[in-house]
């Protein structure tokens, strides 16, 4: 069965937004195509107009703004994995990008596409959530800066409104005494994670935890923070027993079981991977504090 659609490749962001506005729900932006093209092939998405974003150089920029990095929506996973230039300030991004799919997927897929697609098992939503990042959006009503905690609404559902595009994401750069780590379990290298844990640990000058943040992918319909785990670490020394005790609170999550893993197994993975991610993040933080 052929399903015809119109293909447009605007040269400017303003033109892309105008096309989205004019065609409403009938139009779909195309970035790396690594999620959208399979949906088109399966006829699960049937847009009348594909608005290809790949000519929009303005969405490819990466810049440092004070204590933050602003990463354009069209920046590929592979560029984030390489971590060149200002990206070198965020090793957590390199670590997360390297876990995505295979090199072909990473070469084409974009951070904006991943955030917009909002797969519950994807790495970028969990990383952006752990870092308290902000998704930068432009649309018919102007610009919006949406905190990650408000952006992910459900599985494959975000706070994006009709006609809006993600233009980038603002991520804090971790300072001295702070470190991050990603740990995940998948059946085969390159598969989507069954569960992934992203931890960020900031140490006070006396070596106690000033702030810890953990977010999970694959443990619910949106990336979940673990407030009880985070609270259990505040003001404590990140010794192995404390980290394990805090991570054990991840068992409170209530994931759904599916064909890939039962709910109980996901809960087990959440606890184990949180402990590992926290231990590594704390070790990185201690090393960077001493530097
Ligand atoms: C074999 C395979 C393995 C994979 N493994 C993983 C994995 O392990 N982890 C992982 O996280 N991902 C994985 N992916 C998905 C991959 O990361 C995709 O790149 C990502 O989900 C979507 O990014 P994209 O640039 O390809 O977006 P597209 O596929 O082009 O678009 C995805 C969706 O986002 C919308 N969209 C795109 N850009 C924007 C924008 N700027 N503003 C608003 N809406 C936009 C599109 O309309 C579409 O609805 C895998 C994909 C494949 C094919």
For residue 289, the model assigns a pLDDT of: 82
- Residue nearest ligand 1's atom 6 by CA: 101
Q: Is the pLDDT confidence value at 291 over 80?
A: no
218 pLDDT more than 70: yes
Q: What is the tens place of the pLDDT at every residue in 233-272?
A: 999 999 999 999 999 999 889 999 999 999 999 999 999 9
How many other CB atoms sit within 10 Å of the CB of residue 72?
A: 22
Indicate if ligand 1 lies below 6 Å from the C-beta of 179: no
- Domains of the chain, first to last: 6-52 (3.30.43.10), 60-172 (3.30.465.10), 178-290 (3.30.390.50)
**Average pLDDT of the chain to the nearest whole number:** 96
CB atoms within 10 A of CB 143: 10
What share of the chain has pLDDT > 90, as a percent? 96
- Please list, residue by residue across 146-175, b when 16 or more beta carbons sit within 10 angstroms of its beta carbon and e when fewer do: bebeebbeeeeebebeebbbbbbbbbbbbe
**Atom 21 (ligand 1): residue with closest C-alpha?**
114
- Residue 1 pLDDT > 90, yes or no? no
Separation CA 130–CA 48 (nearest Å): 36
Instruction: Verify whether ligand 1 is closer than 6 Å to residue 139 (CB atom).
Output: no
140 phi and psi, to 5 degrees?
Answer: -55, -30
User: Does ligand 1 have an atom closer than 6 angstroms to the CB of 198?
Assistant: no
CA 238 / ligand 1 centre spacing (Å): 36
Question: 162 alpha carbon to ligand 1 midpoint, in Å?
Answer: 18
Determine if ligand 1 sits within 6 Å of the CB of residue 120.
no
Distance in angstroms (rounded) separating the CA atoms of residues 102 and 109: 10
83-138 pLDDT, tens digit per residue, is 999 999 999 999 999 999 999 999 999 999 999 999 999 999 999 999 999 999 99
Q: Which atom of ligand 1 is nearest to the CA of 31?
A: 30
Beta carbon of 218 within 6 Å of any ligand 1 atom: no
Is 114 close to ligand 1, i.e. is its CB under 6 Å away?
yes
Q: Taking a C-beta distance cutoff of 8 angstroms, is the pair 256, 239 a contact?
A: no
What residues pair up with 178 in beta bridges, in sequence order? Answer: 202
CB-CB contact of 214 with 199 (8 Å): yes
pTM of the model as a whole: 0.97
């Amino acid at each position: 069965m052929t399903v015809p659609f119109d293909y447009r490749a605007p040269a400017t962001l303003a033109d892309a937004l105008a096309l989205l506005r004019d065609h409403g729900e009938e139009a779909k932006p195309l970035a790396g195509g690594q999620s959208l093209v399979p949906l088109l092939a399966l006829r699960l998405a049937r847009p009348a107009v594909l608005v290809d974003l790949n000519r929009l150089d303005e969405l490819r920029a990466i810049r440092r703004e004070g204590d933050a990095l602003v990463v354009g929506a069209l920046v590929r996973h592979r560029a984030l994995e390489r971590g060149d230039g200002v990206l070198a300030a965020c090793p957590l991004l390199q670590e997360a990008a390297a876990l995505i799919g295979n090199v072909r997927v990473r070469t084409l897929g974009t951070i904006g596409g991943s955030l917009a697609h909002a797969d519950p098992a994807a790495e970028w939503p969990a990383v952006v959530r752990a870092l308290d990042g902000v998704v930068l959006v432009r649309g018919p009503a102007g610009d919006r800066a949406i905190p990650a905690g408000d952006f992910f609404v459900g599985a494959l559902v975000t706070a994006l409104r009709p006609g809006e595009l993600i233009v980038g994401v603002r991520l804090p750069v971790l300072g001295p005494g702070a470190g991050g780590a990603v740990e995940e379990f998948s059946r085969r290298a390159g598969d989507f994670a069954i569960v992934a844990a992203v931890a960020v640990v900031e140490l006070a000058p006396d070596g106690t935890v000033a702030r810890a943040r953990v977010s999970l992918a694959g443990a619910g319909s949106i990336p979940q923070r673990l407030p009880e785990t985070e609270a259990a670490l505040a003001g404590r020394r990140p010794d192995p027993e404390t980290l394990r005790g805090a991570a054990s609170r991840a068992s409170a999550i209530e994931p759904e079981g599916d064909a890939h893993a039962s709910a109980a197994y996901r809960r087990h993975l959440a606890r184990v991977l949180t402990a590992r991610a926290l231990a590594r993040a704390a070790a990185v933080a201690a090393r960077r504090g001493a530097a």
